[in-house]
Structure 1
């Protein structure tokens, strides 16, 4: 008899699709705004690079505050405000005619992105049954993975056939849909909270004790127990930045420009095929049985990419990396939230993304410099070295932690 709780609830669907609309906007803009800066605003390549840098910096700054706020009484207000600001920014893009204003807009939207994604990453952990954490987080992060594939394709197709104004109108629609779905989630969570409060209400109310005064402490913004897995994710993100930013230019360098768009399709296909199995494996086995094989696949995929000299090897690397890193990241996110008490899940989620976003920023600058000084093959070998460092850190910091997870529950079988 299967006693597992339901995963596919209305709120779970809503938060997955809300995240999808946020991430597809992010990835579409990442691929298209550099062209907007150079072609529409007359800016330089250096200025074009700053539109992503400003966004990432703002997201990193916001995440520790968002993680802390998600563990407090204003968590649902944060969800709505962050999503609303992200939506409003979408309405401003068509009016941009000066690079400086675009930079400010990107900083504001980056801050709202950091807050909204941290909030969604926290709330979704409360919607997933304890004995299906790995499976549920796998499906949730699938929204981000699919957006990473569809976003650049959608953005580039629209500007090539209809122009930037049409693209920005599409982003407006995505922002509105994301906002509406966030409202659905918040209303559902508030309703559930009221029901639980009424069920647990004591016959006689007691006066609340006064809240202790809080000192300024970094641990209010960074969760120490989530730092080890977050540090691992940072080194993995360095290599991921090379895939996210430089695969099209690498394909052109090795004479495979005509098939570069298929790389991310293969990547996404492997994620979709593997996700149902890897999530369930994480819930049933010790995490090491999944983390080490996916780390190995990630490293092998980067090596194949660095050595690719044919369409087969180029696309094969996308499949291997999709199976490796695409399965690995939701495991790391689940490890982060299982390492802390429930009241600190928001802080742990924020901590993970601070390090991950930091790795993306470091990787974009570092690997871009390597590619300019040497070539893209060398760049991906440097990315491979970063993954190996991440694997070593996992072994040193986390391998021997065999205690049962705080939220992990045994899965009852027939």
Structure 2
């Protein structure tokens, strides 16, 4: 039975806490920095540039960072990235020039992808194959649990001043570094010291993850602009959307994440991809608090089910020795959608209003199912036997 294999081990818990602190830090910064940019004289569209730059840098660096992690050691890269986060937090506190702020954001985003790829690859070693969807869902609770509280905390701390927020983020980064020192990982087989750009991109995975890209297009707008939308529509508190969204994801994954392992991953994935455009459509017309909450719940149910099912499917059909690269490809898809969404929704919102912007997001996300249906057949046909052979021989 799948349930007989232990999932909640001490090493799982240690890495889970590390991920929670990482996302708790990031999602205090990301909702607050648009207000900082407005303070510096930027426009609404420019307020979304930071998230676009950050996520684009993360997206396009992720496959390379994943390959580097597979070569030099995932734990080693995790520690290095955590130290760099301390420097970034301090830099944000002293920078007042918008172009320079965006440059630091690009570097920060690249290193962020190193943490995501490395930590996810390490965690995949800890999760029993027969409980993969459930394990990934619980692993994802670290990020969504942090998102549930971080925006409200970040915006509250921001009221005491931007410098205060940056000092708090630097302190959290110190805790991340200490935590990374205690993480243990079994790294992949020895590899050549050099990493080529061609090797970093697994095109079979990239094609499949395009479905995630179109589904997360609106996520960029949700992260960057729901607080501003709430402010414009006189809805309190401004963080209500992100908090409700994250709380919904947490509840779904605690009680229903085992469904994918029991009935099949696609049976959980396809319905979730239907909910996402509906959520964006509701947000487009929302003018009351209950409408914002309804949209957030629908989006939380969609993303709460989609990501673990999607990631579990990808892992089942790729090489475990290149797990960090695989997660790098998933990060590429996720962050490309978020970055593009933040940029386009910001521009549309500036000129035509956020209602039209989220209608566009709803329409685009409708393409996620046909893209996945087409690309996943090619991935599964070529990848299943290799992944099964390697996992049966190596995973604990």
TM-score category of the 2 structures, normalised to the smaller one: 0.7 to 0.9
Please state whether the residue corresponding to 1:257 is helix, strand or coil: coil
Alpha carbons of structure 1 residues 42 and 71: separation in structure 2 relative to 1, 3 Å: same
* Residue in structure 2 matched with residue 373 of structure 1 by the alignment: 351
Q: CA RMSD in A?
A: 3.0
Deviations 1:375-412 (CA, angstroms, capped at 9, x unpaired): 222211111111101122122333698777845999xx
TM-score, length-scaled by structure 1: 0.84
Alpha carbons of structure 1 residues 108 and 314: separation in structure 2 relative to 1, 3 Å: closer
* Residue in structure 1 matched with residue 120 of structure 2 by the alignment: 121
Aligned pair partner of 1:179 in 177, 180, 188: 177
Alpha carbons of structure 1 residues 45 and 386: separation in structure 2 relative to 1, 3 Å: closer
CA distance in 2, matches of 1:43, 1:401: 44
1:345 maps to 2:326: no
Please state whether the residue corresponding to 1:7 is helix, strand or coil: coil
Alpha carbons of structure 1 residues 213 and 94: separation in structure 2 relative to 1, 3 Å: closer
* Residue in structure 1 matched with residue 230 of structure 2 by the alignment: 251
1:97 CA displacement: 4.6
1:32 CA displacement: 1.8
Deviations 1:336-387 (CA, angstroms, capped at 9, x unpaired): 2222021121111101111221111111122222223322222111111111
* Residue in structure 1 matched with residue 24 of structure 2 by the alignment: 24
Please state whether the residue corresponding to 1:122 is helix, strand or coil: helix
1:37 CA displacement: 3.7
Tell me, yes or no, if the aligned pair for 1:278 and 1:290 is still in contact at 8 Å: no
1:189 maps to 2:185: yes
Please state whether the residue corresponding to 1:152 is helix, strand or coil: helix
Aligned pair partner of 1:311 in 267, 289, 292: 289
Task: Structure 2: state its 5+ residue gaps.
Answer: none
CA distance in 1, matches of 2:244, 2:103: 36
Tell me, yes or no, if the aligned pair for 1:21 and 1:178 is still in contact at 8 Å: yes
* Residue in structure 2 matched with residue 36 of structure 1 by the alignment: 36
* Residue in structure 1 matched with residue 312 of structure 2 by the alignment: 334
1:217 CA displacement: 6.0
Tell me, yes or no, if the aligned pair for 2:269 and 2:309 is still in contact at 8 Å: yes
Tell me, yes or no, if the aligned pair for 1:232 and 1:390 is still in contact at 8 Å: yes
- Map of 1:106-145 to 2, 5 A cutoff? 106-145=105-144
1:98 CA displacement: 4.3
Deviations 1:34-70 (CA, angstroms, capped at 9, x unpaired): 333443x556666544433432233223212111122
Q: Which runs of 4+ in 1 moved over 6 A?
A: 211-215, 399-405
Tell me, yes or no, if the aligned pair for 1:68 and 1:347 is still in contact at 8 Å: yes
Alpha carbons of structure 1 residues 388 and 42: separation in structure 2 relative to 1, 3 Å: closer
Tell me, yes or no, if the aligned pair for 1:138 and 1:330 is still in contact at 8 Å: yes
CA distance in 1, matches of 2:32, 2:252: 30
Deviations 1:129-179 (CA, angstroms, capped at 9, x unpaired): 11111111101112222233322211110121x222221221122101111
Alpha carbons of structure 1 residues 53 and 381: separation in structure 2 relative to 1, 3 Å: closer
Larger Rg: 1
Please state whether the residue corresponding to 1:333 is helix, strand or coil: helix
CA distance in 1, matches of 2:359, 2:305: 21
Deviations 1:316-348 (CA, angstroms, capped at 9, x unpaired): 111111111222122222222222021121111
1:113 CA displacement: 0.9
- Map of 1:62-141 to 2, 5 A cutoff? 62-141=61-140
Alpha carbons of structure 1 residues 68 and 252: separation in structure 2 relative to 1, 3 Å: same
Aligned pair partner of 2:248 in 264, 270, 281: 270
